[in-house]
Structure 1
């Protein structure tokens, strides 16, 4: 099986998301960045089930999470914080959440990411 076939084709591709559940983290590790892209808008039908699938692997996806939190897509950061923020204890993720709470960019303030990050740190 081509592991890339487990990447949803569109925001309604729940059938493909269901197939993820049959695979281990080791199987899907190469497509983690692709799966995280579907969390850019949790209003998409595939967003919630992908988030639920990835939640147990929060620590293992920490490097990708840090990249997102250091990026410029504030809505994506929002969904990552809300989805994984309280579960990830990885030092680099915690450090980035603390930075957002204590020294946010203007865009992070405008999107209230500093408020969410502060709540996570409590």
Structure 2
């Protein structure tokens, strides 16, 4: 019985991706699942952090913060992209204060010390500098 329940849960895991920026009930269900349960939808969940003003961003970020040590590759992909500097801003704001990943740390330091033009325009470098200073990273 337990195996059937797990299989059903995993079969419907995409149902845990919020449908719109106000879909709080779906986002709040994430806390019932482990990283292993949701790992295939992590990129989809991270998309809800593109604008932290969306209501769904807070519960999604709280869940992702709880598993931040397991999503380093996904976070790094966002931080190294040249597509959405506002998303980088929010990723640094949310995960910068808590990350233990040396790779994420180094990318935040890179943004703080050698930002791209677009990172400067969107003030991603400023939020990165704040994290670097607050955490005494060199």
TM-score range normalised by the length of the shorter chain: over 0.9
Based on CA coordinates, which of the two structures has the bigger radius of gyration? 2
Gaps of 5+ in 2: 1-8, 134-138
Aligned CA RMSD, in angstroms, stands at 1.0
Establish whether residue 104 from structure 1 lines up as the match of residue 115 from structure 2.
yes
Q: CA deviation at 1:117?
A: 0.9
Establish whether residue 65 from structure 1 lines up as the match of residue 75 from structure 2.
yes
Contact 2:43–2:74 (8 Å) recurs in 1: yes
- Structure 1 residues 82-97: aligned runs within 5 Å: 82-97=93-108
- Alignment TM-score, normalising by the size of structure 2: 0.84
- Alignment TM-score, normalising by the size of structure 1: 0.95
Corresponding residue pairs, total:
122
Q: CA deviation at 1:116?
A: 1.2
Which structure: greater helix fraction?
2
Gaps of 5+ in 1: none
| Structure 1 consecutive aligned stretches of length 4 or more whose deviation exceeds 3 Å | none
Give, in whole Å, the separation in 2 of the partners of 1:18 and 1:117.
29
